């Protein structure tokens, strides 16, 4: 009997997830069984899937055909290096989230836990199938089951009208995107009717049609990933969903859209035209800047993270845009650099954003509160969650020595060494792009400080926060796992890049890995050590050594005495929790500096108000400029059409009669 192929193992993993989900349906109300047995099994399956994909990296593609699907179009499956990189991401990140969920779903809120377990594991299995699919039909089936299962997960707490509304918006945009993806596949088949990916690769498209396919894919996958202007579902759906689901959607599902975009633009279409890259670059820059600005002014912790996800997806799109430009001009080394930045940011963002979403889940459970303005001080009650969240915050702010910095560093290197492009005005875009990326990174720091500082630090803003308790061991383990991923990706970038190198090779024909391997595992120098290098290990060691040595010396030479007393605060007498910044207060400088970027409704207290209050509401411009007009138009058209419905049977009979007459007049027998 031949040994199991990696593809078989992954397929079995998908089936196992499905089976775990079904098992949940057997005892839908038995929370203990579902949380403490099924979710850990799901995590184990995730670990196996991730490890299998990791071991596969660098091998030649494996294909399989399943005997299900349409009669003349069975499911084609294929495991190659690009799939493997994203399967690693899915597998390992889902481990942390599933372990966390084992502790999180203990109460059984909203939907019955068994149903939730089924939806959750179906979601995981369909994401894996999206990665494995090798024909348009299988891809769309998996894609749709992913969208549907996540829709039901988002509406877990469906008794609230706003959550149903968020779910509806998500479903709507997901389907607009799915139509675009389907059309893109249709264009790529060139009318041959062969929907397998191999068939699409074989077609030679004219520049017009390949551009159409690319733009449709960018729109369709962008709708799932949250690119401008189809991002509006993200800040609605993420806060509505339970935290492990938000973590899964933000950490993993958005990346399947990136996977799809990479698959179509570098693998299926086969050619690259330089202006595609410019489009992706500009859309990405706009998305990143928009996302980070809005994330700084949010008052709901999960909305803040959702906008921050939009920002990160924007940065990934920027990296993909750069890759397309370099690839179109055959600048292979730089293309590999930018592609590595894109893939690395996918991995890094999965780790730290899932971590942060899960941390908000723990805070939510402990305090029943998700508005930043009513939190404060949990670091005293929940030190584990706070310190692990701090890891995610530093990575999310793009600071060394954690994972978010590596990809931003690679991206900036890609920008910096790009001069030499044939178009002079392309060379002009590059510094402006680099400046924007730098601004986005700095603003991300602001948003992350706001997130951590207002939630975890300071005095408790409400009385009930005193009862908060630290997360249980399952939740801590899940958070710690994701924290470990964040640290490892930050400290060992060269090792990680030598692994994702296989995918870069597959898509571009070149990779960074060989050059990096020659310099040793501790050094990251994508072009040459003289040009740019980064050694996070030494970095970390110097900081750690000075911290420890400094502490030891101070204790040794002086003393370690500590006294506790009231805070000084310049002698100011009022020190209650109300004296601290609220979420709105903290972001006031941003609202003031970038005022035209926001749509604000503010109420200021007057001089003689008996009960003065201040309120500010920040809304999305796109909502008012794009979505409401479309909704209005659709509503108007519907009211016109509704006039046809008289509600009386005689009128409907008249319609049928008229139609019949018309058909008799028009249609002729041939």
Partner 1 sequence: MNVTGFLAQLFAIALALFLAPLLTGWVNMCRAWLQNRTAPPLLQQYYMLHKLFNKDVVLAHGASSLFRTAPFIVFGCMVLACAIVPTLSTDLPFAPAADTIALVGVFGLARIFISLAAMDVGTSFGTLGGRREMLVGFLAEPALLMVIFTTALISQSTSVATIVETLARREFAVYPSLAFAGVAFTFVSLAENARVPVDNPATHLELTMIHEAMILEYSGRHLALIEWASSLKLYAYSCLGLALFFPWGVAAGDSFPALVASIPALLFKLTIGGATLAAIETVNAKMRIFRAPEFLGTAFLLAVLGLLVRLLLETRV
Q: Segment near partner 1 (CB under 8 A), from 196-204, 314-322, 533-541, 639-647?
A: 533-541
What is each CA distance from 180 to 10, 70, 218, 221, 326, in whole angstroms? 28, 22, 9, 8, 26
Residue placing its CB nearer to partner 1 in the complex, 529 or 646: 529
552 binds partner 1 (CB under 8 A): no
Which residues are registered as beta bridge partners of 371?
300
CB 494 within 8 A of CB 516: yes
Collapsing DSSP to helix, strand or coil, 429 comes out as helix
Residue 59 · residue 503 · CB < 8 Å: no
What minimum distance in Å lies between the beta carbon of 448 and partner 1?
7
Using the rule CB under 8 A, is 451 a contact of partner 1? Answer: no
Give the DSSP letter of residue 608: T
Shortest separation between residue 446's beta carbon and partner 1, angstroms:
5
442 binds partner 1 (CB under 8 A): yes
Asked if 579 touches partner 1 (CB under 8 A), the answer is: yes
Candidate list 191, 204, 556, 566; residue touching partner 1; CB under 8 A = 566
Judged by CB under 8 A, the chain residues 339 through 398 that form the site for partner 1 are 376-377, 379-380, 383, 386-387, 390, 393-394, 397-398
Nearest approach, Cβ of 588 to partner 1 (angstroms)?
8
308 binds partner 1 (CB under 8 A): no
Q: Which of 19, 51, 532, 626 binds partner 1 (CB under 8 A)?
A: 532
529 part of the interface to partner 1, by CB under 8 A: yes
Q: Cβ of residue 416: shortest distance to partner 1, in angstroms?
A: 6
Please report how close the Cβ of residue 539 comes to partner 1 at its closest, in angstroms. Answer: 5
Does 319 contact partner 1 by CB under 8 A?
Answer: no
Sign of the torsion formed by the C-alpha atoms of 480, 481, 486 and 487? positive
How far apart CA 530 and CA 528 sit, in angstroms, is: 5
> Taking every pair of C-alpha atoms in the chain, what is the biggest distance, in angstroms?
105
Taking the C-alpha atoms of residue 330 and residue 137, their distance in angstroms, rounded to an integer, is 33
Does 556 interact with partner 1 (rule: CB under 8 A)? Answer: no
Question: Min. distance of Cβ 430 from partner 1 in angstroms?
Answer: 8
* Nearest residue (CB) to partner 1, 75 versus 534: 534
Binding span for partner 1 by CB under 8 A among 210-218, 269-277, 321-329, 564-572: 564-572
Site for partner 1 in 593-612 (CB under 8 A): 593
> Contacting partner 1 (CB under 8 A), which of 494, 501, 580, 620?
580
Q: Which of 400, 433, 490, 513 touches partner 1 by CB under 8 A?
A: 400
Q: In a 10 Å sphere around its CB, with 0-12 CB exposed, 13-18 middle and 19+ buried, how is residue 230 labelled?
A: buried
User: What is the four-CA torsion angle of 141, 143, 145, 148, rounded to 10 degrees?
Assistant: -140
β-strand partners of 618: 600
User: Which two three-digit tokens encode residue 161?
Assistant: 């009208």
Whether 160 contacts 123, CB under 8 Å: no
Q: Counting beta carbons within 10 angstroms of the beta carbon of residue 254, is it exposed (0 to 12), middle (13 to 18) or buried (19 or more)?
A: buried
Interacting residue with partner 1 among 1, 3, 557, 630 (CB under 8 A): 557
What number of residues does the chain have?
670
Q: Which two tokens stand for residue 71?
A: 């009669």
**Closer residue to partner 1, CB minimum distance, 356 or 454:** 454
**Nearest C-alpha neighbor of 433 from the set 414, 415, 407, 413:** 415
Q: Which of residues 464-523 bind partner 1 (CB under 8 A)?
A: 523
- Spatial neighbors of 349 by CB under 8 A, at least 6 apart, are 251, 255, 309, 312, 316, 404
Nearest to 300 by CA among 247, 358, 248, 238: 238
Give me the least distance between CB of 375 and partner 1, in Å please: 12
**Rounded Cα–Cα distance for residues 413 and 411 (Å):** 5
Q: Which span sits near partner 1 by CB under 8 A: 37-45, 186-194, 248-256, 569-577? A: 569-577
**Residues 536, 37: Cα–Cα separation, whole Å:** 39
The residue from 2, 191, 530, 606 that contacts partner 1 (CB under 8 A) is 530
Query: Shortest gap between Cβ of 433 and partner 1 (angstroms)?
Result: 11
Spatial CB neighbours of 396, under 8 Å, sequence gap ≥ 6: 308, 352, 353, 356, 404, 444, 448
CB of 427 or CB of 615, closer to partner 1: 427
Nearer to partner 1, 541 or 633 (CB): 541
| Sole binder of partner 1 in the list 120, 151, 409, 481 (CB under 8 A) | 409
Is 550 near partner 1 (CB under 8 A)?
Answer: yes
What does the angle CA 253 – CA 47 – CA 404 come to, to the nearest 5 degrees?
A: 55
- Site membership for partner 1, residue 423 (CB under 8 A): no
Instruction: Kindly state whether residue 573 participates in binding partner 1, applying the rule CB under 8 A.
Output: no
Minimum Å gap between C-beta 404 and partner 1 is: 10
Q: Which stretch binds partner 1 (CB under 8 A): 163-171, 236-244, 280-288, 546-554?
A: 546-554
User: Does the protein bind partner 1 through residue 290 (CB under 8 A)?
Assistant: no
Query: Min. distance of Cβ 21 from partner 1 in angstroms?
Result: 40
Contact segment (CB under 8 A) with partner 1 among 14-22, 333-341, 366-374, 399-407 equals 399-407
CB nearer to partner 1: pick between 212 and 434: 434
Instruction: List 600's β-bridge partners, or say none.
Output: 618
Nearer to partner 1, 214 or 409 (CB): 409
Footprint of partner 1 on 618-647 (CB under 8 A): none
**Spatial CA neighbour of 143 closest among 46, 43, 263, 281:** 263
Q: Cα(643)–Cα(228) distance, rounded to whole angstroms? A: 36
Residue 209: CB partners within 8 Å, gap ≥ 6?
A: 187, 190
Query: Shortest Cβ distance from residue 493 to partner 1 (Å)?
Result: 12
């Amino acid at each position: 009997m031949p040994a199991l192929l990696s593809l078989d193992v992954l397929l079995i993993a998908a089936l196992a997830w499905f089976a775990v989900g079904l098992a949940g349906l057997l005892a839908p109300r038995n929370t203990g069984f579902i949380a403490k047995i099924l979710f850990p099994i799901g995590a184990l399956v995730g670990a196996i899937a991730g490890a299998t994909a990791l071991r596969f990296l660098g091998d030649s593609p494996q294909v399989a055909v399943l005997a299900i699907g349409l009669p003349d179009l069975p499911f084609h499956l294929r495991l190659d290096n690009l799939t493997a990189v994203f399967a690693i991401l899915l597998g390992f990140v889902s481990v942390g989230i599933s372990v966390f969920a084992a502790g999180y779903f203990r109460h059984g809120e909203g939907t019955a836990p068994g149903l939730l377990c089924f939806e959750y594991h179906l979601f995981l299995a369909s994401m894996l199938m999206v990665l494995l699919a090798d024909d348009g039909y299988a891809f769309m089936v998996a894609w749709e089951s992913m969208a549907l299962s996540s829709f039901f997960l988002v509406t877990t707490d469906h008794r609230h009208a706003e959550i149903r509304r968020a779910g509806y918006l998500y479903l709507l945009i997901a389907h607009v995107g799915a139509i675009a993806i389907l059309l893109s596949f249709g264009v790529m088949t060139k009318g041959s009717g062969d929907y397998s990916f191999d068939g699409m690769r074989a077609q030679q498209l004219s520049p017009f049609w390949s551009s159409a396919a690319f733009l449709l894919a960018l729109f369709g996958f962008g709708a799932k990933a949250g690119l401008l202007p189809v991002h509006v579902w993200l800040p609605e759906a993420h806060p509505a969903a339970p935290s492990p689901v938000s973590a899964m959607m933000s950490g993993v599902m958005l990346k399947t859209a990136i996977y799809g975009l990479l698959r179509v633009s570098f693998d299926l279409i086969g050619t690259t035209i330089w202006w595609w890259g410019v489009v992706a670059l500009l859309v990405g820059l706009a998305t990143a800047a928009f996302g980070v600005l809005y994330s700084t002014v949010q008052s709901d912790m999960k909305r803040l993270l959702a906008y921050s996800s939009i920002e990160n997806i924007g940065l990934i799109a920027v990296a993909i845009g750069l890759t397309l430009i370099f690839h179109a001009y055959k600048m292979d080394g730089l293309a590999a650099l930018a592609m590595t930045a894109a893939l690395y940011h996918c991995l890094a963002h999965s780790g730290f954003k899932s971590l942060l979403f899960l941390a908000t889940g723990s805070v939510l459970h402990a305090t029943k509160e998700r508005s930043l303005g009513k939190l404060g001080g949990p670091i005293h009650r929940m030190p584990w969650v706070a310190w692990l969240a701090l890891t995610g915050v530093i990575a999310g702010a793009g600071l060394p020595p954690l994972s978010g910095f590596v990809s931003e560093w690679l991206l900036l290197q890609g920008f910096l060494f790009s001069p030499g492009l044939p178009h002079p005005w392309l060379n002009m875009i590059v510094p402006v792009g680099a400046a924007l990326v730098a601004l986005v990174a700095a603003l991300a720091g602001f948003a992350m400080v706001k997130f951590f500082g207002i939630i975890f630090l300071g005095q408790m803003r409400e009385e009930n926060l005193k009862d908060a308790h630290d997360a249980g061991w399952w939740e801590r383990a899940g958070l710690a796992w994701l924290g470990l991923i964040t640290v490892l990706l930050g400290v060992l970038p060269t090792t990680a890049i030598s692994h994702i190198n296989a995918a870069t090779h597959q898509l571009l024909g070149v990779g960074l890995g060989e050059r990096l391997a020659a310099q040793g595992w501790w050094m990251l120098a994508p072009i040459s050590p003289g040009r740019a290098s980064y050694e996070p290990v030494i970095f970390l060691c110097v900081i750690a050594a000075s911290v420890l040595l400094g502490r030891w010396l101070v204790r040794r030479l002086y003393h370690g005495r500590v006294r506790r007393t009231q805070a000084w605060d310049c002698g100011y007498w009022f020190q209650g929790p109300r004296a601290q910044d609220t979420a709105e207060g903290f972001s006031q400088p941003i609202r003031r500096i970038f005022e035209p970027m926001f749509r604000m409704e503010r109420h200021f207290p007057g001089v003689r108000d008996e009960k003065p209050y201040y309120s500010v509401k920040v809304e999305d411009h796109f909502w008012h400029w794009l979505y409401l007009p479309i909704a209005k138009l659709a509503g108007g058209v519907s009211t016109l059409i509704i006039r046809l419905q008289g509600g009386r049977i005689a009128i409907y009979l008249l319609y049928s009669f008229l139609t019949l007459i018309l058909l008799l007049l028009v249609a002729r027998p041939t």
